[in-house]
Amino acid sequence: MPRSRATLIGFAAVILWSMLAVLTVGTAPVPPLLLNAICFGIGGAVGIVWLMLSGEIGSLRQVPLKVYVIGTAGLFGYHFFYFSALRMAPAAEAGLIAATILLGGREGSVDGAMAGYALALVCAFTWSGYSIISRSFGAVPTGSVAVFCLATAVLSAVAHLQFETALWPAGALGWLSVIGLGLGPVGLAFYVWDIGVKKGDIQLLGVASYAAPVLSTLILVLAGVAAPSWSLLAAAVFRPRGGRFPL
């Protein structure tokens, strides 16, 4: 595959991830681990169906176990921290992770919001590590992402049963948000990103990924989830490095 085409495919992930925050907010009050389990179950199932239809399901046997372990840890860790952050802190602020807006426009307690911001920062570094390591596994087929997703779903389901009380989406909009997450930002996005970072221009994709939190914040404002403010604009423009894939 030409490098330019792979890079373009990787760009699709940035667009899909711009919908992550608003869809996550729409899934309330589903707890983070249960949300992980449902969404990654959908994303993994879609990947397995694609592999079966394309006749490439057998390629999964060639993937080393350590790749599955690292990939699963990256996806499980990032999304557990991300979903937890958006449950504990205001969605726009948690998405941008900027100190200039830590004390503005939030709901809930200060302690809860600060814990949410801390989790947002941790998830940023988790994703950075996952992306960089994925680059080093360039020969591993993209279909392996389906296994990452399904393993993440299983781990999340087990952890959910141990630590959470089941709360389901509120109405049709909530379920549509869950399905949308599983098909897009927590599904297709990982397959196209894997192609991009392995075969495309990783530096260019790294720069493009900075647009995801800003686009995500804009969508939150347009959807009425976050209130527009000068501090939010300043945070979007001057936010520090630490997004999905800082380089």
Q: So what's the pLDDT on residue 107?
A: 46
At 159, give phi and psi (nearest 5°). Answer: -65, -35
Better-predicted residue by pLDDT, 61 or 203: 61
Residue 138 has pLDDT above 80, yes or no: no
The predicted model scores a pTM of: 0.75
Query: What residue spans of the chain are helical by DSSP H?
Result: 3-17, 20-26, 32-54, 65-88, 91-96, 110-136, 144-163, 171-183, 189-199, 202-209, 211-222, 230-238
Residue 110 has pLDDT above 70, yes or no: no
Q: Mean pLDDT in the chain?
A: 79
Q: So what's the pLDDT on residue 230?
A: 63
Question: What is the token pair recorded at 56?
Answer: 């490439």
Q: So what's the pLDDT on residue 71?
A: 87
Rounded-to-integer distance, Cα 151 and Cα 24, Å: 21
pLDDT tens column, 36-54? 899 999 999 999 999 999 9
pLDDT tens column, 154-191? 999 998 998 889 999 989 999 999 999 999 998 999 89
